[in-house]
Amino acid sequence: MQSISAVVYIILIACLLPYVFTVIAKVVGGFKFKDNQNPRDFLAQTTGLAARANAVQKNSFESLPLFIAAILMAEYMVVNQYFIYKLGSMYILLRIAYGVCYLANWSKLRSIVWFLSMACPILLLVLVIRLN
């Protein structure tokens, strides 16, 4: 049985993960201090690996609300901690794999991994629904 603190760590990791890809995009793209005046314009103009890292961070932010809502709803509805921890951990691992696939430009595998990562919070919400 996992404690609630493990779930907090999972949420924290999920929230920080997009920033890892932001740093990759900036480092690979040659980000300079002067670019900090308008970093979104800088990132929008990147190409290659830097552009893919930027796309990963955007997609990571886009998937975050569903994941956090699913985790919090599962906690609120007292879904078994085992399932919350396992599906939350799988989401994190799959999102890391998704990022690697995106950076490596493996588009077909990336799509499969994206689907599997999104299945994790959806399954958590299905468990919440089944408890009602």
Mean pLDDT of successive 10-residue stretches along the chain, which has 132 residues: 76 97 91 79 90 95 97 92 94 98 97 98 95 80
Give me the phi and psi of 77, to 5 degrees please. -90, 5
Distance (Å) of CA 34 to CA 30, 44, 81: 11, 16, 47
Rounded to two decimals, what is the model's pTM? 0.91
For the chain, the domain total comes to 1
pLDDT, residue 4, reads 64
pLDDT, residue 42, reads 86
Q: Can you tell me the distance from the alpha carbon of 122 to that of 131, in angstroms, rounded to the nearest whole number?
A: 14
Q: What is the DSSP string of 54-109?
A: HHHHHHHHHHHHHHHHHHHHHHHTT--HHHHHHHHHHHHHHHHHHHHHHHHT-HHH
Structural domain of 20? 4-131
pLDDT, residue 6, reads 86
The CATH number of whichever domain residue 16 belongs to comes to 1.20.120.550
Residues 48/9, Cβ–Cβ less than 8 Å: no
pLDDT, residue 20, reads 96
Q: Can you tell me the distance from the alpha carbon of 117 to that of 113, in angstroms, rounded to the nearest whole number?
A: 6
Residues 57/49, Cβ–Cβ less than 8 Å: no
pLDDT, residue 3, reads 57
